[in-house]
Structures are given as C-alpha cells and as structure tokens.
Amino acid sequence: MIHKITITVHQNHISPRFDLATEVLIILISNHSVIEEKKSIVLPRSSADELCHLLLSENINTLICGGIEEEYYQFLKWKKINIFDSVVGNWKLAFQNWIENTLKPGDVIQDRMVEGKHV
C-alpha cells in the first residue's frame, strides 16, 4: 500500500504554524516504512489556502504540522486527511515516531543528548 505524508518544516523542525509554513516535505511510503520518494517543496509565500490546495492535489493521506486553525483542520479532516497537529520538534524524529505508530497530536519531540550522542 502506498501512503503519502506531508510535514510542514522550518529548517530541521516542524513549522510552528500551518498558515505560516513556506516549506513542506512530501514523503511517499510503501509497506508503512519503505521510503520510495522524498521531495521538498518551497512555497512562494505562506498561505493556508494554497497549502490545502497542494495537499489535495498531491493526494496526501497524512499531515504532520504545528498549530493549525480550526477551519483548515476541519476542512482537511473532511477531505479524509489524517492530521497530527500541534507537534513540536525535529521533523525527522516526528516522522520516525509516525513510522513506529507512536506519534500523537500535541507531541513535543525533543532531541536529547546522552553521553555525547543524540537519542
């Protein structure tokens, strides 16, 4: 089964607000963990309406983002997009948590150092 996930990003972190995101990652996944394709799209300006249009035109199944206004949240839910909102932290760790089926809306994902190594 093919699954398309979008993550709103700012540098190495999830963009704090959906409506201010200017970059997204689109990741095409098969068998729930095999990355088939990953692409970064830089948007010409921040626009929640244009971002919603992009999600629909790309046939996105899942969205990982920071804060999102209720109207856009409800619209995307109505369009059958799974939303993990209010997620804070490193996008790679959030994506890994999604792969492991442990990501929840509102998660604060911290990149911790233990004995000089990130864990």
Q: Are 74 and 40 in contact (CB under 8 A)?
A: no
The domain of 47 spans 2-118
Q: Is 94 helix (H, G, I), strand (E, B) or coil?
A: helix
CB-neighbour burial class of residue 2 (10 A; exposed 0-12, middle 13-18, buried 19+): exposed
Q: Which of the four pLDDT bands, split at 50, 70 and 90, describes residue 53?
A: very high
Q: How many domains does the chain have?
A: 1
Residue 103 has pLDDT above 90, yes or no: yes
pLDDT category of residue 117 using cuts at 50, 70 and 90: low
Give pLDDT, residue 31: 85
The DSSP call for residue 90 is: B
What predicted TM-score, i.e. pTM, was given to this entire model? 0.90
Q: What is the pLDDT of residue 74?
A: 98
- The span from the CA of 98 to the CA of 43, in Å, is 24
Per mean pLDDT, which of 30-34, 42-46, 80-84 is the most reliable?
A: 80-84
Length of the chain measured in residues: 119
Q: Are 6 and 58 in contact (CB under 8 A)?
A: yes
Segment 23-41 shows an average pLDDT of: 92
- Say what the pLDDT of residue 113 is: 57
Q: State the CATH number of the domain containing residue 57.
A: 3.30.420.130
Residue 96 has pLDDT above 80, yes or no: yes
Asked if pLDDT for residue 101 goes beyond 90, the answer is: yes
- Give the whole-angstrom CA distance, residue 104 versus residue 106: 6
Enter the tokens of residue 1. Answer: 């089964």
Residues 80-103 have a mean pLDDT of 96
